[in-house]
């Protein structure tokens, strides 16, 4: 793809699926046997904090047993070797992009391995459980919650995301169903900016018609092939 300097990549749960991390909208729309609204909203946390904390404790522990897959490793290679701007905006709250070696990563929905102190706003790195209400390392209050953007909460660093889209020459969406906004709307922002758009996903997403090009199959096949394409000199 000639003339491409700046790339924005959006990833979703599908890029981590082959690492053994459940996606959100698999069969029956249940998620780890829970309804999303029972475990991923501030109202759920207020109503039943133990249920929510146990849900996130389980997932925080689970992701630490998983490893990045070939798709994460391919994006990390692109991050290393691409000499233009590149931003991986991930909806995922696992750290597999970073463990694969990517550095230009933005977690718009938060991170499993951070806690957030609702008393002093600190966001300490956190790998253990929160169910026992541990003290905040900064202020000592027993007021830590998962550093996760729940439904109804504002995604992180939206200004940076839109600034990167303004400068982008290519928008690529990988492993997302296009079900959750504002992330699902980025392809339309890109189109309005006249930016070419590419979808790499197991199956057509809910927004597939907005993409100039869509390739369907497992991320561990599609992503390394696409990265190889991007890093190979254009055939004259
Ligand atoms: C907000 C943290 C207000 C939780 C998550 C209309 C417009 C705007 C907003 C809304 C709207 N209608 C409703 C809303 C509100 C809501 C929303 O979008 N609801 C949906 C359900 C309609 N949005 C919000 O509440 C957001 N906040 O709007 O704030 C606001 C906004 C702007 C300005 C002011 C105020 C907050 C949303 C964040 C919620 N938190 N995550 C946690 O992780 O514990 S969202 C959750 O869904 C995850 O982050 C996940 O990443 C995300 C999206 O899901 P996907 O990643 O796409 O995963 P999914 O399972 O759906 O799909 C996987 C895909 O992979 C599939 O397509 C599958 O085919 C593919 N796949 C599977 N295997 C593979 C594969 N692909 C390749 N290879 C494979 N092997």
Residue nearest to ligand 1 atom 10, measured at CA: 181
Pocket test for ligand 1, best of 24, 59, 173 (most atoms within 8 A of CB): 24
32 Cα: distance to centroid of ligand 1 (angstroms): 16
CA distance 202 to 170: 20
**Tens of pLDDT along the chain (236 residues)?**
578 999 999 999 999 999 999 887 666 545 667 888 889 999 999 999 999 999 999 999 999 999 999 999 999 999 999 999 999 999 999 999 999 999 999 999 999 999 999 999 999 999 999 999 999 999 999 999 999 999 999 999 999 999 999 999 999 999 999 999 999 999 999 999 999 999 999 999 999 999 999 999 999 999 999 999 999 987 76
- List, in sequence order, the alpha helices (H) in 64-212: 70-81, 96-100, 158-167, 186-192
pTM score: 0.96
**Which atom of ligand 1 approaches the CA of 154 most closely?**
29
Under DSSP, the state recorded for 41 is S
Q: Are strands 197-201 and 213-216 parallel, antiparallel or unpaired?
A: parallel
**Rounded Cα gap, residues 27 and 193, in angstroms:** 35
C-alpha dist (Å) from residue 19 to 10, 99, 100, 131, 147: 18, 12, 12, 26, 22
Specify whether 109 is catalytic: yes
b/e per residue 146-169 (b: at least 16 CB within 10 A) = bbbbbeeeebeeeeebeebbeebb
């Amino acid at each position: 793809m000639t003339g491409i300097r700046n790339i924005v990549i959006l990833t979703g749960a599908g890029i981590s699926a082959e690492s053994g991390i459940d996606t959100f909208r698999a069969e029956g729309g249940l998620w780890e046997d829970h309804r999303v609204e029972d475990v991923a909203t501030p109202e759920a946390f207020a109503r039943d904090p133990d249920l929510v904390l146990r849900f996130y404790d389980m997932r925080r522990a689970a992701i630490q047993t998983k490893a990045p897959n070939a798709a994460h490793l391919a994006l990390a290679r692109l991050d290393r070797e691409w000499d233009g701007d590149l931003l991986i905006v991930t909806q995922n709250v696992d750290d597999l992009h970073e463990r694969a070696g990517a550095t230009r990563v933005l977690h718009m929905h938060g991170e499993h391995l951070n806690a957030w102190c609702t008393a002093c706003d600190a966001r300490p790195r956190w790998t253990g459980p929160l169910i026992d209400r541990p003290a905040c390392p900064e202020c000592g209050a027993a007021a830590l919650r998962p550093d996760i953007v729940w439904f109804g909460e504002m995604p992180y660093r939206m200004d940076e995301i839109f600034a990167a889209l303004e400068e982008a020459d290519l928008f690529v969406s990988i492993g997302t169903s296009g079900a959750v906004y504002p992330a699902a709307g980025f392809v339309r922002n890109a189109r309005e900016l006249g930016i070419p758009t590419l979808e790499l996903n197991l199956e057509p997403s809910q927004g597939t018609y907005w993409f100039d090009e869509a390739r369907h199959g497992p991320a561990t096949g599609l992503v390394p092939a696409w990265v190889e394409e991007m890093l190979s000199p254009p055939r004259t």
